[in-house]
Amino acid sequence: MTLSGDLLIGGANVRGSAATFAAVNPANGSPMQPSFAGATREQIDQAASLAWDAFPVYKETSLEDRARFLEAIAEGILALGDELVLRAIEETGLPRGRIEGERARTVGQLRLFAKEVRDGAFQELRFDPADADRKPVAKPDLRLRNIALGPVAVFGASNFPLAFSVAGGDTASALAAGCPVIVKAHSAHPGTSALVGKAVVGAVAISGLPRGTFALLFDVGFEVGQTLVADHRIRAVGFTGSRRGGTALMKIASERKQPIPVYAEMSSINPVILYPNALLGRGAEIGKSFAASLTLGAGQFCTNPGLIIAIEGAGLDAFIESAAATLAEAPAQNMLTGGICEAYRKGVARLLAASSVSLISSGKNGTAHQASAALFQTTAAAFLANPELQEEVFGAAGLIVRCHDDSELRRVVESLEGQLTIALHVDAEDVAAASQMIPQLELLAGRLLVNGFGTGVEVSPAMVHGGPYPATSDGRSTSVGTLAIYRFLRPVSYQDFPVGLLPTPLKDVQAAARVQK
């Protein structure tokens, strides 16, 4: 498929009229062809207008047609074959195995949501029959269903060019809910985005859906995203990125005449709490596993384990020795963009300059386009006194907080901001102590795990990829798993409607009654 660098609006290629830009190969800093042109306000308006026109039709498509549409997107992505894989490798510097795995995850998400749509339970159909004889007031006939919110603006993520991008989890769940989607592609991988966008447009056409069901816009700056969020026809936002970016969009959304929800996944340092008996029995083993998790993908995961909390002792010393030795052999790695690499280096430099922090180990040096892993340590007292030590360093940098005793460890945990994940490493003898901590941890994170690290996020009906602010803007939601569909729905109750006026799903009283039971 020839890449044109065009926007995708109304099912057609449209040349952007704003500033042009090109993807940059992160391995060598060289620009790639073709150039991509950003969307103007007029082109954003066109996409939003088409999405709004498509909404009343698309939201009432049959569940089977909507499920087949999601499956058609999955098939279209697979049909791109190596063209997609090679372009994604070139634009991100990620290895083939990572890209192929992410493609499989993207396709799997779409198929999972197709299954969820066919099941229909997300509609939450409820029927409460009338009772004319009820005293002192007759009881009305009430029926309820969830409906789609409206067109959704989705922002592609820098660190997942497929699974959190054009046809990733936000797009899949919004389309599953019945919402048209306008994607603002990430400027780091526009070619990858364009290829996937073409697959979605093809699925729209094959499925006979309104041409405004999907659009793909480019921009080298912030204007497209800001304009989309402010547009009165956009009714929700899906975002994965920095805290600064997420809070900026939240501000725009809250200042609209009709504020809208922004589901932003932002920052998390994903604490790991190491309990004494686990450390004594297998501190070295845990240290090696931690180092592998910290450096996976150059640490460019939102669930990267950036903070270790443990009580001082021989077990912690064994953990540190093992982790330090493993990290010292870790090769420098390409980061996704020059900007991300520079931000990581500044974060490491900030920790190096902190008087209360010391460097334990660092990885091997690399080229100007690569970053080396780094592991630091500090005391619990210093961590509690310096809130800036909680700031995320996006990349393979970790900080160990050494605590004198369990009381100090608990104070450190109580000081934490909201997180995506918190991991516990325990042996049988630690369970009693750890169980006392669980109620506190439930208030801090969306996912708790034992004897592992959060870097693997299973796409599952039981997964929560979210957490209290600032991990996300709304800790009641998830961006991974089938519960993600509920972000883009709202309930509507229909009172005393004649059958002819009822939406199709609520006309079958017996079926609705069975759901209610």
Q: List, as one string, the DSSP characters of 426-489.
A: --GGGHHHHHHHHHHHHTTEEEEEESS-TT----STT-----TTTTBS-TT--SSSGGGGGGGE
Known catalytic residue at 265: yes
The sign of the torsion formed by the CA atoms of 149, 152, 158, 159 equals positive
What distance, in Å, lies between the first and last C-alpha atoms of the chain? 51
Q: Which residue among 71, 91, 116, 265 is the active-site one? A: 265
Nearest Cα to 276, choosing from 441, 452, 402?
A: 402
Phi, psi for residue 238 in degrees, rounded to 5:
-115, 125
Catalytic residue, chosen from 91, 102, 302, 341, is 302
User: Rounded to whole angstroms, how far apart are CA atoms 160 and 99?
Assistant: 9
CA dist., res. 142 & res. 223, Å (int): 44
- 176: its two tokens: 């599953």
Q: What is the Cα–Cα distance from 271 to 471, expressed in whole angstroms?
A: 12
- Structure tokens, 165: 């991008």
Nearest to 5, CA basis, from 253, 197, 204, 290: 197
Distance CA 449, CA 416 (A): 17
The strands making up 374-379's β-sheet, listed across from edge to edge, are 358-362, 374-379, 397-403, 307-311, 271-274, 419-425, 445-450
Beta strands in 89-222 (DSSP E): 126-128, 142-148, 152-155, 181-184, 214-217
> Is residue 302 among the annotated active site residues?
yes
Which residues are tagged catalytic?
A: 265, 302
